[in-house]
Amino acid sequence: MRFPSRLLAANLFFAGMVWAAFYVVTTLITVAIAVFGTLTHSVWEGATQVPRWFALFVGVAMIREFLPLYIAHGQTRRQFGAQAAVTIALYAPALSALLVLGYLLETLLYNVAGWPQELARAHLFASPTDVPLVFLEYLVEFLAWIVAGTFMAAAFYRWQGGGLLSIPPGVGLILLGEAAIGTELQLPFIQIPLDVTSTPAVLTALAGGIGCFLLGLAMTWSIIRDVPLRNRLA
């Protein structure tokens, strides 16, 4: 069983299908707002709150589903850890590229229809067409959310109910990533503003994303390095 190429390809294919459906739904909502109300802002901007949760559960699946599968097929835990890191490092920018594409397609639609594509909150980028900064912002965000998912999933896989203790440091990883891009964290019923007085520098944001990525991997590895395989029926 080849890893990470097969796992990466399967997840990228699934992400592409989810993105296509997500884009269609978002576009329909955009048109509905324009027809039945007043459209003044980028709808895609608000919709991008959802993909971060998708990224989180990709991290969860990496441990919950694929760790026992690949170890059972002959991978060592060290091999899995190294190859999972490669998968995440390639998967996060792929997700970021899909969000960039969503912004560009929205820009095309708004220009054709004559709608204003204003942004409702602070970002690294000032315009949805500022591709490098749009890509960087969501890359940092996805790296943080995916490794938070792997860390918390590893804790729950190893200690079951004891994994609840991993939630605060897992949220801390997410906060670190969001703070690196100077945005805000929106959780169910909770909104945590992390806006800074000025837009973070590109190198600051990138360093924050890489640091969060490496920290999350180290925290996950400390749990899975000798984790016993569990009976899936347990």
Could you read off the pLDDT of 113-128 as tens digits, one per residue? 999 999 988 888 889 9
Structure tokens at 76: 């060592």
pLDDT at 59: 95
* Integer Cα distance of 122 and 184 in angstroms: 9
Residue with the bigger pLDDT between 189 and 218: it is: 218
Instruction: Decide if 142 is inside a domain.
Output: yes
Residue 33: how many other CB atoms lie within 10 Å:
15
Q: How confident is the model at residue 179 (pLDDT cuts 50, 70, 90)?
A: confident
Structure tokens at 68: 């026992």
Note the pLDDT of residue 186: 56
pLDDT for 184 equals 63
Q: Which of 160-169, 193-202, 217-226 has the least mean pLDDT?
A: 193-202
List the single range of 77-86, 138-147, 165-174 with lowest mean pLDDT: 77-86
The pLDDT mean for the chain works out to: 88
* C-beta neighbour count of 143 within 10 angstroms: 31
Structure tokens, 144:
């943080």
pLDDT in tens, 5-33: 777 887 888 999 999 999 999 999 999 99
> Does 229 fall in a domain?
no
Indicate the Cα dihedral angle 145, 149, 151, 157, nearest 10°: 180
Query: Minimal CA–CA distance to 53: which of 149, 163, 137?
Result: 149
The total number of structural domains in the chain stands at 1
Cα(148)–Cα(169) distance, integer angstroms = 8
Instruction: Report yes or no: 129 and 100 within 8 Å, Cβ to Cβ.
Output: no
For residue 151, being part of any structural domain is answered with yes
pLDDT at 121: 83
Q: Note whether 151 and 223 are within 8 A (CB).
A: yes
Residue 159 has pLDDT above 70, yes or no: yes
d(CA 93, CA 148): 16
Please report the pLDDT score of residue 50 as a whole number: 92
**118 lies in which domain range?**
5-224
Nearest residue to 224 via CA among 145, 166, 182: 166
Prediction pTM value:
0.90
User: Cα(6)–Cα(3) distance, rounded to whole angstroms?
Assistant: 6
The single-letter code of the amino acid at 20 is A
* Residue 88 in domain: yes
CB atoms within 10 A of CB 60: 20
Tell me, yes or no, whether 176 lies in a domain: yes
In a domain, 234, yes or no: no
Provide, rounded to the nearest whole percent, the portion of the chain with pLDDT above 70.
Answer: 88
| Structure confidence at residue 201 (pLDDT) | 77
